[in-house]
Each structure stands twice: as C-alpha cells, then as structure tokens.
Amino acid sequence: MPAPTPRQIAALQLDRYNARDLDGFCSLFQEDAELWELPAMTLRARGMAAIRAIYADRFSNPDLFCRVHATIDLGEVAIDRETVTGVPGAPLEVIAQYHVVEGKIAKVFFWRG
C-alpha cells in the first residue's frame, strides 16, 4: 500500500489536533522532526520530545480549535491557511507548511499573522 499523501497527513494531523489526541498527533511526525517560525527562521522544536512537550501543553486547553480556510499542495508539501482559537493571543492567523517524507511530517514552517 502506498504511503499517504502529504495532504492526507496534513488533514489527519488537523483532526488529531482538534481532538487533542497527543499520541495520535505525534505519531504523524518523524522522530527528528522540526518546527520552524518564519520569516525569522527560528527553530521552535527539534525531535519528538520537544514537539510532544509543546503540544501536551497546548492540548490541555479544551477550547483549542484549528480551522483550515484554504489548502495548496505541491509534491511533498501541504500548505494550510488556518485560524487557531483557544490559545493566548487568539485568534491566531497562520500559514502552516508541512513537509512530508515517507508518510511522516519531517518539518513544519509556521507563518503567523
């Protein structure tokens, strides 16, 4: 069976994010995945332990929700235009760029409005 497409992985991680399913969410990332903040190219997290810590805190908020407004796909990249609520400073306007390699998220680049 072929690996899921980047769009399928991006959609699945959104479902798990909104369900606050930490284990399911983290299972979609490579062990050495990276999260980056743009345009400064600031590394926010590298590796599963760091990613899990960020999202364990975020998922503790029952009001957390992410809505996707638009998507773009190209090769191994899925891009979402999102609004996130239930976090400090919400609503957050975000563009998330997911780089998927062999069915797992390798890197995410976040642009925040």
**pLDDT of amino acid 26:** 98
pLDDT tens-digit series, residues 44-100: 999 999 999 999 999 999 999 999 999 999 999 999 999 999 998 899 999 999 999
Q: Is 11 in contact with 5 (CB distance < 8 Å)?
A: no
pTM of the model: 0.94
Architecture of domain 6-112: Roll (3.10)
Over residues 14-27, mean pLDDT: 98
pLDDT at 89: 87
Q: Are strands 104-112 and 29-38 parallel, antiparallel or unpaired?
A: parallel
Q: Tell me, what DSSP letter sits at residue 95?
A: E
What dihedral do alpha carbons 8, 26, 103, 109 form, nearest 10°?
A: 80
Residue 91: exposure state from Cβ atoms within 10 A (0-12, 13-18, ≥19) = middle
Mean pLDDT of all residues in 102-113: 95
